[in-house]
Structures are given as C-alpha cells and as structure tokens.
Amino acid sequence: MAEIVAGIAVPHDPSYPARAKKEGPDGEIAKLYSEVLHYLQAARPDVLVVFTNDHFNAFFFDNFPTFAIGVAEASSGPIDTTDMPTFNVIIQERLAEHIRGQAIADGFDLSLTQKFGMDHGFMVPLSFLNPGMKIPVVPIWVNAFVKPLPSAARARALGRSVGAGIRSSRSNLRVAVVAAGSISLEIGGPMVNPGARRGIPGVDWVTHVEKRWAAAEIDQLVEEATEEKMLAAGNVGGELLNFIAMLGAIGDHRPDFIEMQAKEGHIAAAWNLVRT
C-alpha cells in the first residue's frame, strides 16, 4: 500500500522564480524553498500529489469545477505568462485514477480532465521542489476564486478522501502531499492601495493561520475559515482552501518546519510523516 511520507506548504507567487534568480542562492526566496526542499528530499517521495487552484487558465467561467483532478500521462506548463521556461511534467496516471475512484465513492463528484495545461499555481512550486521534473505528479484543483467557494470543511473532507485514496492504493509508492497558494492577497481589487497592483490586506489573518498550523489546531481553523473571513484577506484569500485540503490528507500534525512571510501573505511549512 502507498504511504504518505510528507506534507508541504509553499507559496506559488509567479514573481518568485525571477526573484530567486535575481537574488541568488542566499536570497530570501531561494532560502525559503531550499529549506522546504530539504524536508521533501529527506522523505524520498515517488509521487507529489499537489493541491492548488487555477487562475482562469486551464478553466474559465463556462467550465469552472469546484474540485478537479488531472488524469493523463503527462502535461506541461506554465500556460500563463510568467518569467519561467516551459516544463514537461509526468503525471502518475494510475494513482490519479485510483484517487478519483476513492473520491467518488466518498461522495465527491470530482471533475475529470485528461487534456490540460498547468499554470503558475503548479509550476512555481514544482520548479523549486521537483528539480528536473523527475518526480511524477497528481494535480488536483480547488476553486479558490469563483463564488460560492467550497467550505473549509468540504475542502478538508476532500483532502481526507484523497489521503484515503493514496493509502489504499495497491502500490509501494511514497507520496508527498503539496499545497500552494497565498493566505492573504488582493489583486487589482478595492483593497489595493491607489496606484498599486496588489496588496496584503490580511496580515493579522496570516499570523493567526500560522499559529493554528504550528499548534495543529486544524478543527478551529476550519471553523474560522468562512468564505467571508477568507475573502476579507483579499480576493485571493480563498487559496487557504488548498492548504486545508492538504491538511485533510496528511492529518493534524505539528509541522517540523514553518516560516511566515506575513507582509507577503504567505506561510511555508513542512511535515515529516515518517520517523526513522
């Protein structure tokens, strides 16, 4: 049976690859991802199951699923405009099919996509965490933008179903579950200061979420993370659901590493789930 060996939480800010290149290996961005990568590599995963959200690139209003999974042999990205090269990504098709079957059995009408590209929500974290794109991926999308958002309880329940699907897989795969996004971010909306493109209106919320993660107080976080509360932290604040889904998959554990970028609206963390 497959085993979940790590949980990973990182930003997927599209500016980060260029910033890391400009700042070099001693810069803030490179050091942050390097620390997380240390924990990921120590877990020796065979597969990365990634929860993130699309930014109206793979999906649009005419076809915007609440939850979706990619089942294919391969994909590529980023399909949006970022200062990154295009990467080919191997998809762990068999595990993706099994996870989808488990989710449907658990009452989730998990949308299926077999022809898809991956935008910066996937490709920024993968560019840092999957050097050479050698580790196959299972991509799972969570609606973080289009109202009504799924509830935090529903996102957590999806994560639990995905975790059950991983653990019931008839394989010896070592699986790391990754989530990417922001906790607070407003893009081009009314909470952005005049003349600015983006802002972080929920610094206090980022600090609060970090404390909940650090103490493994996920029940309390799920209760607090209403649509109103998340979107008060910015029109991208629903990306917290990506992390709640990941936490549902791995269970309630204190992270082995956690670092907050409150003024950037981000939290990065790593959970080592195999003690040797």
What are the pLDDT digits (tens) for 143-156? Answer: 999 999 999 999 99
Is the pLDDT at 106 greater than 60, yes or no?
yes
Mean pLDDT for 197-205 is: 95
Which 3-state string (H, E, C) describes the chain? CCEEEEEEEECCCCCHHHHHHHHCCCCHHHHHHHHHHHHHHHHCCCEEEEEECCCCCCCECCECCCEEEECCCEEEECCCCCCCCCEEEEECHHHHHHHHHHHHHCCCCCEEECCCCCCHHHHHHHHHHCHHHCCCEEEEEECCCCCCCCCHHHHHHHHHHHHHHHHCCCCCCEEEEEEECCCCCEECCCCCCCCCCEECCCHHHHHHHHHHHHCCCHHHHHHHCCHHHHHHCCCCHHHHHHHHHHHHHHCCCCCCEEEEEHHHCEEEEEEECCCC
Tell me how many domains the chain contains.
1
pLDDT tens readout for residues 16-56: 999 999 999 999 999 999 999 999 999 999 999 999 999 99
pTM exceeding the 0.75 threshold for the entire prediction: yes
CATH number for position 203: 3.40.830.10
Domain that holds residue 51: 3-272
pLDDT in tens, 47-62: 999 999 999 999 999 9
